[in-house]
Amino acid sequence: MKRRLFVIAGVLAVLGAIGAAAGGALYYVYPVQVSILAGLTRNYFISWLAPTGTATTEANAAYKGDPTVAAATPVEVVASVSAAQAPSPRAAAGDWPSYNRTLASERYSPLSEINTKNVAKLKVQCTYDVGEFAAFESGLIMVDNALIGTTEFDIFSINAATCAENWRTREEYPPSLLPANRGAAYMDGRLFRGTQDGRVLAYDFKTGKRIWHTTIANAKLGETVPSAPIASDGLVFVGNAGGDFKGGKGRMYALDAKTGKIVWEFFLVPRAEGEAARGPQGASPLDTATWKNASGIPISGGGTWTSYTLDTKTGRLYVPGGNPAPDFAIAAREGDNLFTDSVIVLDAKTGDYKHHFKIVPRDWHDWDVSNPPILIQTRGGKQLMAVAPKDGHLYGFDLADNKLLYRVPVTTVTNVAETFSPGQDVYFCPGSVGGAEWNSPAYVPSTNLILIGEVDWCDTVTPKTVPELRSVKLGQPWAGMPTWNPFWIFGRMGRSEGHWAGWVHAVDADTGVWKWRLKSNYPVLSGMTPTAGGVVFFGDVGGNFYALDAASGEKLWSQDLGGAIGGGVITYTVNGAQKVAVAAGFTHIAWPTKIVEAKIVVLGLDGATARQ
């Protein structure tokens, strides 16, 4: 008997060795594909017994509103804000023509057919199966009765009422370990998107035929273009990501919408002497004074990877800037590392520098300014810029003098002052994929509330030594975490101590005091979409889609859509009826979500309910 067990154990050991060797050989030939497959397999088992979604709302007894603005009526406020922040030029009122609906990015919709009285009767009306496992983060847009979405390789158009496919165009280039595409821009019959190989592509809106392409990033340095561009007045605004790769540098561009020609280029971190330019340079005060790098540590970082905001009245472009690199190892790059972790304000026509808001002064946690700021006029009359980076706070700046009005925590914030040193583990919250990710805050003018969805997920990190960082080749991941495990590139992110959750905070735009907050048992990554019907829509990575009363946070309706919601949530009218579209089925090696194919889900009311 013992001999038989010994033989069986020997056979299993041999088979295991053969499997490991085969896996190693496949990894050597196809490292990205094998890593993604392993990650999705891991996440499949982790999410196997995922619990049902729960959401709990709490009111703030200390919230009193702002007595100085009590005379303002909601109707007056809605009218003034809607006029100031209209959708993109030539867009119909019921469309959703840009990443955050308006170029000011405040995400508020004036539609009210679906409202607090009837939203409980919301139903799924059609579904478009994307047909692939994807990090489906697409910020959907809807123009002229067509819903537009993107994946890492594809762009497609579907009927906004029936989900029938109009066309679909696929691009071919090498896959990425961190695949992402956050959507397309629309202007004058054309669509614009970025690619993982560093290009911007233009397509015919009706046919999906490619019109032009322009390279704005160096794929050999790990640079990509995952951002959703925005478009206005003949220009397409977009920048490159890749700030987590050694040598990768963020830059911002304006392209001619008709030809793809680069109109201007702006370096978001210092341009090295002799470094090639792709187009005319916007005027910049930036130099290397805030980068005291160790020898052999090139200036890297400042990528921009979500979308952008444009004030069409002033012509100022607001660019969210990413982290400095290497992550975590601050001893390798002492200083404020401008313009990383900042909102950079540029002249939209020339690319010239106007101002910057340094949000994270010195970053050793990988806390990018990750999403576009919103520009609003508060009920108290302030011209406000609100921004929610990955550091777990909501910031409000008065644009009259660019001064900070408030900085308020909107997720768990723990142990953030402790410095990092090689060989020492440090636990902190929010982690490097915590806080607010690629979707912006939203604004409800009738209540003067800013709504923000947050990730409550912590991290444990120890940084590499400077010699270890020097040894990394240009163009390779440079997260600064000493590990061979691809799941730990950005730290060891566990789901213990209750920190695998999400928050929605409703914060007074004038005072920064929260009125209500909701806690979900899953992180909140999706877009927040408030409407004139008094409802706010959002989803979590458990696949739970919610409709809340925007004034109180009360849950009015929810449904499990069968896949993590990490992309756009938009609302629009088609054939005279209001719909809500959701990008669901988000799968990614860094996020332990259900492994399902990506899909777009369109919801609405039946005809009788909508007429009530």
Q: At residue 19, does pLDDT exceed 50?
A: no
The larger pLDDT score, comparing residue 423 to residue 398, is at 398
Is the previous residue joined to 326 through a cis bond, with omega within 30 degrees of 0? yes
Centroid of chain to Cα 588: 14
Q: Does residue 41 form part of some domain?
A: no
Q: Does residue 22 form part of some domain?
A: no
Task: Quote the strand ranges of 490-575, DSSP E.
Answer: 500-508, 514-520, 529-530, 535-539, 544-549, 555-560, 565-574
pLDDT digits (tens, 9 = 90+) for 377-405: 999 999 999 999 999 999 999 999 999 99
Query: Span 20-27, mean pLDDT?
Result: 50
Measured CA to CA, the distance from residue 100 to residue 110 in angstroms comes to: 14
Q: What is the pLDDT of residue 99?
A: 98
Q: Does residue 42 form part of some domain?
A: no
Q: Is there a contact between 489 and 176 (Cβ–Cβ < 8 Å)?
A: no
Q: Does residue 397 form part of some domain?
A: yes
Q: Does residue 559 form part of some domain?
A: yes
Q: What is the pLDDT of residue 120?
A: 98
**Token digits for 339?**
């313009």
Q: Is there a contact between 556 and 549 (Cβ–Cβ < 8 Å)?
A: yes
From first CA to last CA, the distance across the chain in angstroms is: 77
User: Which pLDDT band, with edges at 50, 70 and 90, does 41 fall under?
Assistant: confident
Give the phi and the psi of residue 236 in degrees, each rounded to 5: -115, 125
Query: Span 463-468, mean pLDDT?
Result: 94
Range of the domain at 281: 47-611
Number of folded domains in the chain?
A: 1
User: Which burial class, exposed, middle or buried, applies to 371 when counting CB atoms under 10 A from its CB (0-12, 13-18, 19+)?
Assistant: buried
Q: What is the pLDDT of residue 70?
A: 44
Query: Span 407-433, mean pLDDT?
Result: 95
Letter for the amino acid at 481? M
Q: At residue 594, does pLDDT exceed 60?
A: yes
Query: Span 298-322, mean pLDDT?
Result: 97
Lowest mean pLDDT among 211-225, 274-288, 365-379, 486-500: 486-500
Query: Span 460-464, mean pLDDT?
Result: 93
The DSSP secondary-structure symbol of 290 reads G
Counts of helices then strands in the chain (DSSP H, E): 5, 39
Q: At residue 296, does pLDDT exceed 50?
A: yes
Centroid of chain to Cα 201: 20
Q: At residue 560, does pLDDT exceed 50?
A: yes
Domain CATH code at residue 509:
2.140.10.10
pLDDT digits (tens, 9 = 90+) for 173-219: 998 777 899 999 999 999 999 999 999 999 999 999 999 999 999 99
pLDDT digits (tens, 9 = 90+) for 509-555: 999 999 999 999 999 999 999 999 999 999 999 999 999 999 999 99
Query: Span 12-24, mean pLDDT?
Result: 46
- The SS3 of residue 6 is helix
Measured CA to CA, the distance from residue 26 to residue 24 in angstroms comes to: 5
The DSSP secondary-structure symbol of 51 reads P
Q: What are the b/e assignments for 281-296, b being 16+ CB within 10 Å? A: bbebebeeebbebeee
**Token digits for 68?**
């100085």
Lowest mean pLDDT among 28-37, 149-158, 234-243: 28-37
- The SS3 of residue 250 is coil
Q: Does residue 25 form part of some domain?
A: no
User: Which pLDDT band, with edges at 50, 70 and 90, does 82 fall under?
Assistant: very low
Q: At residue 15, does pLDDT exceed 50?
A: no
Q: What is the pLDDT of residue 75?
A: 37
Q: At residue 479, does pLDDT exceed 90?
A: no
pLDDT digits (tens, 9 = 90+) for 95-115: 999 999 999 999 999 999 999
Task: Quote the strand ranges of 130-246, DSSP E.
Answer: 141-143, 146-150, 154-159, 165-170, 185-187, 190-194, 199-204, 210-215, 230-232, 235-239
Query: Span 577-600, mean pLDDT?
Result: 93
Q: At residue 29, does pLDDT exceed 60?
A: no
Q: Cα dist. 444→113, 385, 398 in Å?
A: 17, 14, 18
Kindly report the length of the chain.
612
- Residue 437's nearest CA partner among 420, 460, 456 is 456
User: Which pLDDT band, with edges at 50, 70 and 90, does 266 fall under?
Assistant: very high
Q: Is there a contact between 171 and 195 (Cβ–Cβ < 8 Å)?
A: yes
Give the phi and the psi of residue 529 in degrees, each rounded to 5: -130, 95
Q: Does residue 263 form part of some domain?
A: yes
pLDDT digits (tens, 9 = 90+) for 122-162: 999 999 999 999 899 999 999 999 999 999 999 999 999 99
Measured CA to CA, the distance from residue 284 to residue 267 in angstroms comes to: 8
Q: At residue 8, does pLDDT exceed 80?
A: no
Q: Does residue 2 form part of some domain?
A: no
User: Which burial class, exposed, middle or buried, applies to 561 when counting CB atoms under 10 A from its CB (0-12, 13-18, 19+)?
Assistant: buried
- Residue 368's nearest CA partner among 388, 346, 396 is 388
Query: Span 474-502, mean pLDDT?
Result: 82
Computed over every residue of the chain, the mean pLDDT equals 90
Q: Is there a contact between 250 and 242 (Cβ–Cβ < 8 Å)?
A: yes
Measured CA to CA, the distance from residue 592 to residue 45 in angstroms comes to: 9
User: Which pLDDT band, with edges at 50, 70 and 90, does 604 fall under?
Assistant: very high
Query: Span 63-74, mean pLDDT?
Result: 55
pLDDT digits (tens, 9 = 90+) for 331-350: 999 999 999 999 999 999 99
Give the phi and the psi of residue 568 in degrees, each rounded to 5: -75, 145
User: Which pLDDT band, with edges at 50, 70 and 90, does 499 fall under?
Assistant: confident
Measured CA to CA, the distance from residue 499 to residue 483 in angstroms comes to: 23
pTM of the model: 0.93
Q: At residue 441, does pLDDT exceed 60?
A: yes
